[in-house]
Structures are given as C-alpha cells and as structure tokens.
Structure 1
C-alpha cells in the first residue's frame, strides 16, 4: 500500500514524497537502473524486497513525486541513499525527501550516494538534525566491467563459516580505521551478525596468513551490496604490516574475477580521494572512475 508523507512544516503545495510499498518496488528499481553503480546501495535493498517484502529489509523507501510515475527514490535504513536521476526535478525531489526524513527522524548512521544529491539533501536536513560527525565530500566512484589484466592473487578466496573468529577482528580493525570507532563497542551483535551473514552468503573474501607469526588475515574485502547488475565492494583492508607490497591490487583483481564469474557483471566501490594508496591499487586492478560520491557520517 502506498501512503503520502507530507512536510512537517512548509507552505501549501511544497514538494511531497510518498512512502513506497511492495507494489512500487519494480518501478523503484527501474529508477535505480538509470544509474546501476550509483544506486547500488538502494537497489540492493529493493532487490531483497522483491523476494521477502519491504518490511523485511530493515528500512523504508520514499518516492517522488507524490502521485504519478516515479522520478526519484530514497532508501532510508542503516544509511539514507537518495537516487535522483538527471531527468528528475532534483530540487523538488530532494526537498520532498528532506521533509520525509525530518518526519521519520534520524535513525541512520550516514547519508551516502551521488555527491550532488547527498550534499544537497544534507544542506536541507542540517537545519533540523544534529551536526554531522564528518562530511566526506569527494569519494571517487569506481567500477570495472571486465576481467582485470593484472594477475589475480591465487591465495584470495571466499571465507568459510569456520573462519568467522579470525575474519571478525580484521573487519573490526578496518571499521575503526575507516570510521573512527569500534562497531562492537556498544555490546550489540548487529555488526557480528552482518559479518557472519556475509561469510555465509559467499560475499566475504580473504587471504589468510601462513607460517609462524603471520597475520591471521592479510587481505579482506566484502560485497556489501549486490544487485543482478552490480556488486559493490566494501571493507577492503590489508594488514598494516604488509601494506605497500601489492596485496590490495592483486587481491582486488581476484575479487573482481570471482565476483564477475559468479555474482554480477560489474564490480564497483567508492573511496576517499585522499586515500591515494588505495586509489592506485584499484586503478592497477582495472577500476575506472564513473562518478563521485559523498558520505555524511553521524
């Protein structure tokens, strides 16, 4: 069932979003298909909804305009992900999503996606929401739709469920380096469950250390969002003692080959512009920039 989410405040006739229901999912996915790489985070949740319904996805979806064919959509779950194609009325769509987000309340840890849409949405929301912890406004969006020329690391493979106890600490270390705090410090099990689920679904890739004194995990990466068209890589990490040896580039070449063979034809990721070492590694593996993302962290 579709319902309307109006502005909490504002003049009559101001832009309004509607809350999407299961019958809207196919149309929302068609909007995402205009930019399969840029919309991967939102589209992955909508793909899940086609199997189990929107209520099972842990978030909600809004559409613009209030009535008629969808021009833009916004996913609001652990992350808020606006998807506003070039043909949409961008200002009106983002104003409608901002009003919906104000009414919904800040329950997400970030706003992420296309840079222009994210920064414009945050400019509207910051009047009502607490200040962001960090705004990362220049994150190249990279993709590869062919097998890398660079040799794939033969030691990189999918993690197995019995390796959870060594994969989890590597994931936590990566998260702390990237975000600045531990995802398990609050005592909840959500992050652990997420890591366990990614392993079970074959979306966690590792290179194990060998020999005495070796790091349990030398390289790791996960497919954080998957659609039939795109698999978005997240959580790329190399043990600090081994950085500068090419593990990231050859490891990502392996991830790309395995993913394209069995998951999706295009592999994508986004990275902070200042992370020059990572950018060089991804470029060596064959990734090319296809857009620019931004992330607002709370």
Structure 2
C-alpha cells in the first residue's frame, strides 16, 4: 500500500516527490528568485546536511525536458515556486503540485509565497480542500540592499535568551493581532519553541523599556529574522506596543534591524506586508524598502 501510494505521488500530473539527491537542483530553482523562495530555501539549506526528513516536510518537483524547473515545499506551510516565464509550463507545474496536494490532503496551516503560484495552487485546490479562513491575495514583497534611510534606534538590540518571559508575550500579541487567534499551546509547544530558537540564534530583535508592571521591563518593539537563506534575510513579526504606536518606533526600529542584519547576517533584507496596512507600508518605504514582487497567503 505504501509503495502504491508513493508511485501515485511520483506520477501525479507530471510531478514527483523529490529526494536528497535532488536538493542541488531544487536549490538552483530557488536561486532564480531568491526573495520569493527564501521560505523554501531556508528549509532546503537545512536539509543539505541533515536530509529532507529533518526539514519538516516533503519536497515536490516538476521537470521539463529533464530539468527541474519548479518545486513545492509541503510542510507546516506549503510554498509553491514556479520561477519560469512560460505560462504553459507554469500551468502544468501547478496542475502537478495541486494533484499531489489533493492526494496527500491538507496538512498545512497556510499556502504562502509568490502570489501567482499561491493563488494558482489555491484555485486548483479550493473545491477539494476545506474552506480557507482567509485569503490575502496582495502582499507587497519588499527589499532593501543599502543602508537605512532613517537613523537606527540605538535601543533596539538582539534579545537575550533569558528574556523569554517578556519576549514571548509580545510575540503572542503580534501573532494574535495578525492572524486572529492565539498560537499558544504550552511551554514546549511549537510556537513557543520557535520563539525560543530565534532568540537563541540571535534572530530576535527588541526594544525593552522600564515598566511598572514588570521588573525586567516591557517589549515595546520587536521583529524577527524568520527565514535566512540564499543571501536573503526575511523579517517577520514586526510589532509595536499599541500604546506606543504613532511615535515612529517602527521606522527607527526597522532601521536598526536592517543595519544589524546587513552587517552580520545577509546583504539583502526582505519582508512582505498586507497591502491594506498603509501605516506599515509607509514605514518600510521610509526606511528604504522597495517593492520587488507580490506575495499571497491562504490561511486555514
């Protein structure tokens, strides 16, 4: 039964399940759009030394004339990547990935990545998968590859691992505001573990101020480098405490994140933001970010 299922997966509309020997080719596909593919590239770079099983999902591929031209990472988030210009090839690749996704069933919490691929996947899956909770079809993908245009906030720094007790509440508030529900599942839950790991890896940035409520202070600005791969660092989870909004902490805070990231992590800093978030868009543009593409996210 397992062998039969694998055979079906490998032949679904021309797509196939990739293995460790395909990683080099998959990374070459990602390199064609380093900004759009950073979420998948980060997983694949982990897999190079540890194998795809350690990447937390499966990897699908679509070939044309014997060459791998498109991939889809199917993990907690599904990330389809079809960085080709030929519309017929794009359609065939998305048909293949949608066929594999239908056979597997929905296991992901979102489909996210370059808008054309994400929305193309969802148009093929929406009648077979449960309804989406929300479709964010226009999320400007922005980058900065130079020094920030505003003065960095000198109080923004990397968080310390022993500050977990004040950083986690800020992360939870951001996630709840952004997605609509709390990600908390317990001390050792996946969200809590991710926050702790980002702090340990030096990819969590905060501004902490004295507080009458907490002896160790309150986080009033925070951001993380949620994905780092292929020379790109993608900023995620940008948040300013509600009682401090309007003070331009996001501009100076992001400038500090950009400065530190470009110096110590990756030369290109990226992010994506909902098109209706005019305040955030204005802040990122003030820092020096420019739009280079469009993301989309289907949330379940």
TM-score of the aligned structures, taking structure 1 as reference length: 0.93
- Between Structure 1 and Structure 2, the one with more helix by share is 2
Structure 2 residue 63 is the aligned partner of structure 1 residue 95: no
- The correspondence for 1:219, drawn from 213, 218, 221, is 221
Output one character per residue of 1:236-268: Cα deviation in whole Å (capped at 9) or x when no partner. 000000001010011001001111111111000
Q: What's the RMSD between the two structures over aligned residues?
A: 2.0
1:53 is aligned to 51
Mapping of 1:231-242 within 5 angstroms?
A: 231-242=233-244
1:23 is aligned to 21
Sort the Cα spacing of 1:190 and 1:66 in 2 relative to 1 into closer, same or farther, 3 A.
farther
> Contact 2:185–2:191 at 8 Å: present in 1 too?
no
Mapping of 1:244-259 within 5 angstroms?
A: 244-259=246-261
Determine helix, strand or coil for the equivalent of 2:220.
strand
2:270 is aligned to 268
1:43 is aligned to 41
Q: Give ranges in structure 2 of 5+ residues lacking alignment.
A: none
Sort the Cα spacing of 1:273 and 1:5 in 2 relative to 1 into closer, same or farther, 3 A.
farther
Distance 1:232 1:118 in 2: 18
Mapping of 1:119-268 within 5 angstroms?
A: 119-185=119-185, 189-210=189-210, 212=212, 216-268=218-270
Distance 1:268 1:276 in 2: 18
Distance 2:188 2:18 in 1: 30
Output one character per residue of 1:115-161: Cα deviation in whole Å (capped at 9) or x when no partner. 11111100101121001000001100000111112100001110111
> Contact 2:62–2:70 at 8 Å: present in 1 too?
yes
Q: Give ranges in structure 1 of 5+ residues lacking alignment.
A: none
Determine helix, strand or coil for the equivalent of 2:67.
coil
Distance 2:12 2:77 in 1: 25
Which stretch has the larger CA shift, 204-213 or 16-25?
204-213
Distance 2:253 2:264 in 1: 17
How far did residue 221 of structure 1 move? 0.3
TM-score of the aligned structures, taking structure 2 as reference length: 0.93
> Contact 1:5–1:16 at 8 Å: present in 2 too?
no
> Contact 1:5–1:17 at 8 Å: present in 2 too?
no
